[in-house]
Chain A
Amino acid sequence: MVDPQEVQRCLEAAFPGARILVANPAGDGEHLEVQVVSPAFTGRGLVDQHRMVYAALGDLMPRIHALQLRTEAQVEGAR
């Protein structure tokens, strides 16, 4: 189990300037839905993008039972 805000802070630190959404729809801190839109993903495939998020989550990963992840490369200059 994790505190979704901890996940949010961890991803904000790893992906500065990214749009990050962390949802905890079941309210259990076990089933999280995470979306990261970051310029850091530009030019990388989805597998690489997801790997970057998993790496950023580090020790938090094993504490999340189920993580639904969506990543997107942010277009330069777009908000």
Chain B
Amino acid sequence: MNDVLADIEKEVKENPVVIYMKGTPRFPMCGFSAATVEVLNEVGVPFKAVDILTEADKREGVKAYTNWPTIPQVFVGGQFVGGCDIVRELHAKGELAPMIRNAADRR
């Protein structure tokens, strides 16, 4: 488990935007993952997607890392931002895009 947590930490710190999801952005396997990818696509900044159905150890790993019970999970600038509902809400309030652009610009 420690290795997985270290992998996740590295992943979220090295990429401005990371989503842990079921399936891939092109073929999401869950409605919540699909809706979250749609929001990220609207923001338009490239993001890294990790398919927890393929990388199965990360399924429980990311839940333990964030103490958050559900997938998808979105990280911006190394920080856990939330799941589908929070990401959608931040986008609706106009707060998500600036957060993501900030993180992308810091690279």
Interface residues of A, CB < 8 Å — how many?
Answer: 11
Q: How far is the CA of A72 from the CA of B70 in the complex (A)?
A: 20
Pick from B4-12, B51-59, B77-85 the stretch touching chain A. B77-85
Interface residues of B (CB under 8 A from A): 31-32, 67-70, 80-86, 89-90
**A51 adjacent to B68 (CB under 8 Å):** yes
Is A23's CB within 8 Å of the partner chain B?
Answer: no
Is A1's CB within 8 Å of the partner chain B?
Answer: no
Q: How far is the CA of A31 from the CA of B89 in the complex (A)?
A: 19
Q: What secondary structure prevails in chain A residues at the interface with B?
A: helix
Q: Which residues of A are found within 8 Å of B80, using beta-carbon distances?
A: 47
Minimum C-beta distance from A19 to chain B (A): 17
Q: How far is the CA of A64 from the CA of B16 in the complex (A)?
A: 32
Mind listing 7 A-B residue pairs with CB under 8 Å?
A46-B82, A46-B90, A50-B68, A50-B85, A66-B32, A67-B70, A70-B85
